[in-house]
Amino acid sequence: MRVVWTIGSLTAFALVASALLGCLAPRDDPNRPLRLVWFGSADEETAIRSCVASFEEVHPGVAVEVQMVEWGRFNEKIMTMLLGRRPPDVSRMSVQWCPRYESLGALADIRPHFDTESLEDFDPARLVSCRAGEKLFGFPHTSIGLLVFINRDLFRAAGLSAPSSVSEAWAWEEFASDARTLQRVAGVQYGWGVFRGWFPVVPFLYQHGGWLLRDGEPDFANAANVEALTWFVKQHTDGIAPTSSWAAGGDPAETLFIRGDCGMVITGNWRVVSFGRQITDFEWGVAPLPRDVRRATNSGGENLVVFNTDRVEGATQLAAFLTAPEQMEHYCTQSMFLPTRRSLLSRELPYQQRPEAMALFAQQSLDFEPAWAQEQSTPQFAALDSALVRQFELATLGHQTPRESLEALNHEYRQALIP
């Protein structure tokens, strides 16, 4: 997961940037290269430069300047470019960051510059994070998702088998029962766990029929959410999942899984490569998330957004090209991300590692509904990153009740006012 800003830094950003936007896009050299800001690993840089080279071949005479930045310094880089009145034309941007830049007027409406019928292939839930009302300011590019990673050796020792498709997902109690069997029969210390973060906890709220906002207002403490978080906390206090992974200095659940001390861990596709490298003494695989009254997951990732410059038309062509099926498939399979187009999500892609696991990630990612994307696509929600983790931690460690934690989130959301 990529982090987002705190409420305080978001407010400071808004106060400074709001003074800039009236003069954001001065007239520029029409022959200059399109500026594309990117963050990511070496593999991601190689993949995007390959895609950009293809764009330049198709559009002779149009050059693209790729500006790489550390993802932890992304917002600092964009602010510097805004202050210098040299914003990017196109930028990779985490979905949580998009609402704040759009709310400040930094992003362009790209609808006049392409055929809107081409949007039909995008996952509707991911397209939500590129819209503000009727305005469209970019295209979904890559996704991250969640699955249950399982220790197959422990499953065999316990005489268990895991579901292999989302339609066969465990019910909550079946999931908990198998976790207890792993402890009792296979002798593992913990049956399951999640990485410490809000991202893998929210799906349990959705699975139980819950929601986060109601009519635009925070409603974290609705009855379904309280019941879901109570179940989640009890799994930890009963010792099925590791409470210590939520405590400062405790071993993360992913570390326990790597060591063989946790039979299952809920984490994301970003772990496929590292687990393949780190786990050498047992066989691991993936299984779908458990379900309750409905299937649900969480979906994050990155969009390609177009800034308000005098090159909006050319920038839109670049963003559309990089998110076209062929280029998206190339980028995702080289960098181990999930695509955002339904035509790609519906088939197994030629990933360099664990293509069968990535296919299940893609299948599970479709269990994220547009309504949930909408409530996670507000500037206020983007400011709650640390608050969500802190409140889930306080509940899991028993310092306050699940209801108190959720009511605290209602309060913190209301405090995250965007000037």
pLDDT digits (tens, 9 = 90+) for 343-397: 999 999 999 999 999 999 999 999 999 999 999 999 899 889 899 999 999 999 9
Q: In the chain, what percentage of residues exceed pLDDT 70?
A: 92
Mean pLDDT of 178-206: 98
From 3.40.190.10, 3.40.50.720, 1.20.1250.20, 3.30.200.20, which CATH number describes the 7-144+299-375 domain?
Answer: 3.40.190.10
Query: What does the alpha-carbon distance between residue 284 and residue 297 come to, in Å, rounded to a whole number?
Result: 21
Query: What does the alpha-carbon distance between residue 233 and residue 393 come to, in Å, rounded to a whole number?
Result: 9
Q: Is the pLDDT of residue 24 over 80?
A: no
Burial class (CB in 10 A: 0-12, 13-18, 19+), 152: middle
What pLDDT, in 10s, does the model give residues 33-53? Answer: 999 999 999 999 999 999 999
Phi first, then psi: give them for residue 284, nearest 5 degrees: -120, 160
DSSP state of 1: -
Identify the pLDDT of residue 25: 52
User: What is the rounded (10 degree) CA torsion for 367, 411, 74, 331?
Assistant: 0
Identify the pLDDT of residue 96: 87
Query: What does the alpha-carbon distance between residue 226 and residue 205 come to, in Å, rounded to a whole number?
Result: 8
Identify the pLDDT of residue 28: 61
User: What is the rounded (10 degree) CA torsion for 377, 380, 385, 388?
Assistant: -100
The CATH 3.40.190.10 domain(s) of the chain lie at 7-144+299-375, 146-298+383-415
Identify the pLDDT of residue 16: 46
User: What is the rounded (10 degree) CA torsion for 247, 417, 129, 272?
Assistant: -10
Name the residue among 170, 161, 183 with its Cα closest to residue 263: 183
What does each C-alpha distance from 276 to 20, 271, 364 come to in angstroms?
A: 46, 8, 21
Architecture, CATH, for domain 146-298+383-415: 3-Layer(aba) Sandwich (3.40)
pTM for this model (two decimals): 0.91
